[in-house]
Amino acid sequence: MATKIDSVDPPDSSGSMLASAFLALATEAVVAVDESQKIVAFSDGAERVFGYTSAEILNRSLSLILPPGAFEAHQGHIAEFAKSGVAVRLMTDRREILARRKNGEEFPAAVSIARSDLAGKTVFVAVLKDLTEQRRAEQALNEIQRDRELILSSAGEGIYGLDREGLTTFVNHAAAEMLGWDPDELLGKSQHAVIHHSHPDGSPYAAEDCPIYAAFSDGAAHQVDDEVFWRKDGTSFPVDYVSTPICHPEDGLIGAVVTFRDITERKTAEDALQNAMTELEVLKDRLVEENVYLQDEIKLNHRFDEILGASAQLRQVLHKVEQVAPTPTTVLILGETGTGKELFARAIHDLSDRKDRPLVKVNCAALPAGIVESELFGHEKGAFTGASSKRTGRFALADGGTIFLDEIGDLPMDTQAKLLRVLQEGEFELVGGEKTMKVDVRVIAATNRDLGEAIRTGDFRTDLYYRLAVFPISIPPLRERQEDIPELVKLFVSRFGKSIGKHVTAIPHDVMAALQDHTWPGNIRELQNMVERLVILTPDATLRLDDTFEGSRPGPVDVGFASGEALEDVEREHIRSVLEKVDWRVAGEGGAAGRLKMNPSTLRSRMAKLGIKRSGQGG
C-alpha cells in the first residue's frame, strides 16, 4: 500500500508538510488530535494497530480508540500541556495505557505525547507502541521461568548453576536442603570454596584441578562418581555429580549447571554388600574347612555307634552327661586309654543346643610341638616356613559348636597359656597375625594322665586345670563294669561278622565268661580288637577262643586312675616290647612310632617320662 498522509486540512506550510511526512514514514502508530480531542491525523501504523482506516477515524473523537479510563487519563495529560505555554514539548517518560481496536479488543500500549502549534493550531501528537506481543512474550517467559523453578524445586537431585567465574547463580531446593544452606546464602558465592574444597581423603583440592571447572576449559560435560560435598555444618557426604557447560550462541561459554545426588544410602548398601560378601567368603572358606574336617572324620573308623551297658557305674556317668550337656560349661573327661572318652564327648555335644554345629576333635598328643598352635588357632600366610597360605584353625572351625581336646595333658606349656585365654576371654590371634579373633566355643577336654602329677612336675598349668575341671567326669574302666561286657561283645561280633561276611550267631557261655573275667587293660578298644580277631579265626557260626586270647584275669590288679602306677607299668612294658622288636628304632619306616601310631616326638616324650632306655644306656 502506498504511503499516504491523512489529515483534516491540507498542508498550508512547510511545517505541516514535514509533519505529514513524519506521519507517513512512522512505523509505529501516530495519532494527532486537536484541542477538542478530535483526531486530525492517523498514520499507516495507526491503521495497522487500531484496524481503522483514516477515512473512518479522522475528525472523530479520540474516545473511539481509548476506553473510558484511558481517555480520562489522556485528558489530564492534555491539560498539563495546555498549562505549560510551550510551543513544542515532548514527554520524556513513556506511559503505559490501554487502547482499543475497532473490534473492541483492548490492548496495552506504551505512549509518548508531544504538543505542537502548526498553522496556528495546537496539535497533540501521540506515538503509541502496541505491547500485546511483548506482554505475551513476557508472560511466556514468566511461565517458562515458573516451570523451570517448579522443575528445579521438585527435582530430587541437587541442581545449581555457575557463571564463568565459578560463582553460584541459582540453587534448587533439593541442593540447598542437602547442603544445609539457604539458597540466598549460596548465590554469588564461589561454589568450589563453599562446598567442594577438599578431596574425599581430606587433602587440599585446587580449583584448577576441580572436575566441575574442567567444563569451562574443554567445553565438555564431566561425570564424577564417589566424591564428597561439604555441608554448612562442616560435615561431608558422598556424591555423584555431572558438570555440564552452558554456551551462548554469541558469547560462547557462560557457565555450567551441576547436577548431583547424595549417595550415602548407596554407599552404605555397597559397604553392607561388601561386608556381606566378605562374611560370605569367610563362611564359604569355613564351610570348605568344615567339609574337609568332616570328610576326615568320616574316614575315621568310629567303632562306637552308641554307648552300651547298664551297669551302675555307667548309669552314673550318663546321668552326669545329661546334667551338664545343656549348659555351656567346660567339661574334663578323665579315663584310661580305650574307655571311649570321645564317645562321651560326642554324647555331651549331641544333647546340647550346639548339636547343629560341628564337634571338632583335636588329638593333642598326635600334634607335633611345632605346629600345634597353628592347628588349634590357624596361621597367616608366611607366618613360618612352609605357611604358603592362610589356614583356619580348629577353634575357628568350631565357632558356635564344640571342640574336643583329647589328650589335653600332652599340650605344650606355651600353647596351654593361649588355650587359657580362649577359655577365659573367648579370643585368640592367628599365628603370625595381629588381629584378635572372637569365638564362641564350648570346650570338652579329655586325658588319661594324672594332671595332678603333671602340675607337680611343672608339665601342666594349675590355672588351666581349674578352668578345665569345672565339671569333671570320670569314665570307669571296663574291668569295673563287667556286666556291660556281654552287650558289647554281641555288638562287635555282629558288626565284624557282617564286615567280613561271616554269620556268627552263637557265643558259648564259657567264652563269654572268659571274656568277662579278663582284665582288659586296653579297655573297650582292646575288647573290640580281640572280638574282631576271634570272629576272623572262628571257622563256623559259634564264636570260639584260641591261643590268641591271653586268658583270664590272674588276680586283682590295682589300676586306679588316681595313682596310674599299674597303667604306666602296662604302657611301659608295651612300648619296650615294640622297641625291642624294631631294634629300638623310634622314627622312620618300620620304627616304633609307626607301629604304635604315635608321633616320634610324642613317643620320645613318653619314653623319657616312663624311664624307658635301651640296655647299656644307663638307668
Give the tens place of pLDDT for each residue, 416-462.
Answer: 888 899 888 888 888 877 788 888 999 999 999 888 888 998 889 99
Taking phi over 0 as left and psi of -120 to 50 as alpha, with beta for the rest, 22 belongs to alpha
pLDDT, mean of residues 173-179: 83
Residue-wise pLDDT for 45-81, tens only, equals: 899 999 999 999 999 998 898 888 777 777 776 666 6
Q: What per-residue confidence (pLDDT) applies to 619?
A: 43
Residue 278's Cβ-side half-sphere holds a number of Cα atoms within 13 Å equal to 6
pLDDT at 57: 93
Q: What are phi and psi of 274, to 5 degrees?
A: -65, -40
Distance CA 397, CA 379 (A): 13
Per-residue pLDDT averaged across 406-423, rounded?
A: 89
The residues that bridge with 89 in the sheet, in sequence order, are 115
Question: Which amino acid would we find at residue 153?
Answer: S
Phi and psi torsions of 421, nearest 5°: -65, -40
How many Å separate Cα 381 from the centre of its chain? 25
Say if residue 295 is exposed, middle or buried (CB neighbours under 10 Å; 0-12, 13-18, 19+): exposed
Res. 88: pLDDT tops 60: no
Question: Is it the case that residue 280 has pLDDT exceeding 70?
Answer: yes
Work out the average pLDDT over 186-202. 70
Using the predicted structure, report yes or no on whether residue 147 has a pLDDT greater than 50.
yes
pLDDT confidence band for 12 (50 / 70 / 90): very low
Please list, in sequence order, all residues whose beta carbon lies within 8 angstroms of the beta carbon of residue 269, skipping any fewer than 6 positions away: none
> Best-predicted range by mean pLDDT among 156-160, 304-308, 349-353, 583-587?
349-353
The dihedral sign for the CA sequence 60, 66, 72, 78: negative
With 0-12 CB in 10 A as exposed, 13-18 as middle and 19+ as buried, what is 584? middle
Contact between 7 and 40 (Cβ < 8 Å): yes
| Pairing between β-strand 427-429 and β-strand 402-406 as defined by DSSP bridges | unpaired
Q: Chain centroid to CA 127: how far? A: 75
| Residues forming beta bridges with residue 542, ordered by sequence position | 506
pLDDT of residue 547: 73
Q: Amino acid letter at 199?
A: H
Query: What pLDDT, on a 0 to 100 scale, did the predictor assign at position 401?
Result: 92
Determine the Cα–Cα distance for residues 606 and 164; give it in Å rounded to an integer. 88
Q: Is 455 exposed, middle or buried (0-12, 13-18, 19+ CB in 10 A)?
A: middle
Lookup result for grid cell 522443575: 151
* 389 vs 534 pLDDT, higher one: 534
Task: Specify the long-range contacts of residues 527-535, CB closer than 8 Å, at least 24 apart.
Answer: 527/478, 527/485, 527/488, 527/489, 527/492, 528/303, 528/488, 528/492, 531/489, 531/492, 531/493, 531/496, 532/492, 532/496, 535/492, 535/493, 535/496, 535/497, 535/500, 535/502, 535/504
